[in-house]
């Protein structure tokens, strides 16, 4: 049927970042098995940060925590 395409390391990183915020450690853990050469992932993460696709100083916030804050602020919390 369809030939399975190989997704590049950069494509995988961008796809992951499109879904949610990740810390550098999380991205290294998630994408480390797809690294073809030593240092390739670190260079890619540095490039993405330099181009503004990813900010290293942003700490990921769990979805439940965000939703809880928004719900309380908007008055949606059960009483």
Phi/psi at 63 (5° precision):
-60, -45
Residue 40 CA to residue 35 CA, distance in Å, equals 6
Provide the angle, in degrees to the nearest 10, between the axes of the packed helices 40-50 and 24-31.
140
Please state the pTM of the whole predicted model.
Answer: 0.65
How many residues in total does the chain contain?
Answer: 79
pLDDT in tens, 31-49: 999 999 999 999 999 999 8
Q: From the first residue on, what is the mean pLDDT of each consecutive set of 10 residues in the chain (79 residues)?
A: 76 91 90 94 94 70 53 52
Please work out, in degrees rounded to the nearest 5, the angle formed at the alpha carbon of residue 44 by the alpha carbons of 41 and 47. Answer: 155
Could you state, in order of their start, the residue ranges of all structural domains in the chain?
Answer: 9-74
Sign of the Cα torsion 26, 19, 10, 4 reads positive
């Amino acid at each position: 049927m369809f030939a399975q395409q190989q997704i590049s390391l950069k494509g995988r990183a961008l796809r992951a970042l499109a879904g949610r915020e990740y810390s550098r450690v999380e991205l290294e853990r998630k994408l480390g098995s797809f690294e073809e050469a030593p240092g390739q992932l670190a260079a890619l993460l540095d490039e993405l940060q330099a181009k503004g696709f990813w900010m290293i100083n942003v700490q990921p916030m769990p979805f439940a925590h965000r939703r809880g804050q928004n719900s309380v602020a908007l008055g949606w919390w059960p009483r």
